[in-house]
A and B are shown apart, each in its own frame.
Chain A
């Protein structure tokens, strides 16, 4: 569990603060979850986000331990994929473990950018 403990505790704190609601795979996504491939590599859905400027800034804001666990999971997945194998079934990501730890930071960055654009365009609050 070394690859998930800090992320799960952090996500619990976020859920308590009301910032995120439950896990990423809810509703329709819950049905599609067993059909996805990323869980076989032990990844979370937030790990799959393509890196652009926005995501880079959100990643910068992660607490150090959550960020390190993400790096560990990505490195392990790259290793597995290059060896054309997957994790044993017991280590696949469970639905309740698929927390959206990065979503609040992405929202924060987007809101900050929007605020900046609003002010510069003259749309004052």
Chain B
């Protein structure tokens, strides 16, 4: 034990003179940093659990238990189960009461958060290093041994309904769910939010059946940041999940139109086409196409935006409007499209203008400067996300090659302009889907827009 401590200290003493010497070169400094840098360690257990950790010497330890299941695994009767399990995750477990979970986490100063996407659910524990084991006690209980007591669920159902009430007030969230519902036949068409018609059915037995089927050990990845790999392997024992291997439906794209009418004069419209999956060769080309058109990453505060879409489409509107592109890459499918917001009287012109611009890019392609600008935009958003611990964890979950910033930036640079333009050409000519919410009196149907 003593020798380990001394060894670490002597490394520090060796590298410090190198760093502070007046004649230290950049490469020497990099060498010094590399001595302190640990690498990602990955272990795969017999029951299918993957354990990955990186020691970054941070005073905060982060343990993320990621389950490769989300709203896409819900069957027709189970719709909303992931939302319910997300809301009900603070309820009693076998060894902790709901009150006990909150107070124990407060006492050790830890934070536990749950976020779920269509394909995965992440339970993240952040605590100081000496309290991690107590935090993991609670984390493992929540994931593997929740009791789902029927009276606690009845009491907590109003929280679920409150979340739905808040969601109803946010058409920008609703349009995302609607465009997925319009674009996919199954799996990815399931909403992240529980449909109201099913809320009363989300009872204890249904939720525990869903957990039994989908929360299996071969779907669990334990990721640790700021901790020793051996500790994380020990913690993995506490996460005992059923050992099934559930099958997953392949998501199928189809073209359809979903319109929700109300009297809001701020209309949200989304138009989409079939994109590419995460394992596709074109995944970076799809991201670049989105950045080249103008995405949420291209925001300039308080301005109307200087993106290609803002410059060409927004002048067609009399009132304030917004237009961006979006790109989603899922494990076996993808979605690429555009999101427009505008006044009732403008929205028809805006969508027609968007189609003109899309066809223009499909015909002529992006210019070299636009591709270079898109590459810079994508590289900076990827590098920025690696700066935050949350973004770093997300990248680590994807794989240890995603956290090497240099490698990531190089792969973006390697994409050719032709790849991006070919992708856009395909998007422009493929079958589209439309989703719209608001006062749709001036919005033509999808077939009229494309004609």
Residues of A whose CB lies within 8 Å of any CB of B are 60-61, 63, 112, 115-116, 119, 124-125
Question: Complex Cα distance A63/B97, Å?
Answer: 19
Using a CB-CB cutoff of 8 Å, which residues 92-124 of chain B contact chain A? Answer: 97, 99-100, 103-104, 107
Q: Kindly identify which residue among A60, A119, A125 contacts B151, using a CB–CB cutoff of 8 Å.
A: A60
Which residues of the partner chain B approach A125 to less than 8 Å between Cβ atoms?
104
14 example contacts (A-B, Cβ-Cβ < 8 A) are as follows A60-B151, A61-B149, A61-B151, A63-B150, A112-B97, A112-B99, A115-B97, A115-B99, A115-B100, A116-B99, A119-B99, A119-B103, A124-B107, A125-B104
Question: Complex Cα distance A115/B100, Å?
Answer: 8
Which residues of the partner chain A approach B97 to less than 8 Å between Cβ atoms?
112, 115
Question: Complex Cα distance A124/B151, Å?
Answer: 27
Question: Complex Cα distance A23/B276, Å?
Answer: 63
* Minimal beta-carbon separation of B82 from chain A (angstroms): 26
Give 11 new A-B contacts, CB below 8 A, not counting A61-B151, A125-B104. Answer: A60-B151, A61-B149, A63-B150, A112-B97, A112-B99, A115-B97, A115-B100, A116-B99, A119-B99, A119-B103, A124-B107
Interface string of B140-168 (1 = CB under 8 A from A): 00000000011100000000000000000
Of all chain A residues, the one with the shortest Cβ separation from B104 is A125
* Minimal beta-carbon separation of B366 from chain A (angstroms): 61
Question: Complex Cα distance A119/B149, Å?
Answer: 23
Which residues of the partner chain A approach B150 to less than 8 Å between Cβ atoms?
63
* Minimal beta-carbon separation of B191 from chain A (angstroms): 30
Interface string of B370-386 (1 = CB under 8 A from A): 00000000000000000
Question: Complex Cα distance A116/B104, Å?
Answer: 12
Of all chain B residues, the one with the shortest Cβ separation from A61 is B151
Question: Complex Cα distance A63/B104, Å?
Answer: 29
* Minimal beta-carbon separation of A85 from chain B (angstroms): 37
Question: Complex Cα distance A21/B16, Å?
Answer: 67
Question: Complex Cα distance A60/B151, Å?
Answer: 7
Question: Complex Cα distance A30/B149, Å?
Answer: 33
Of all chain A residues, the one with the shortest Cβ separation from B100 is A115
Which residues of the partner chain B approach A112 to less than 8 Å between Cβ atoms?
97, 99
Which residues of the partner chain B approach A115 to less than 8 Å between Cβ atoms?
97, 99-100
Of all chain A residues, the one with the shortest Cβ separation from B150 is A63
Of all chain B residues, the one with the shortest Cβ separation from A119 is B103
Which residues of the partner chain A approach B104 to less than 8 Å between Cβ atoms?
125
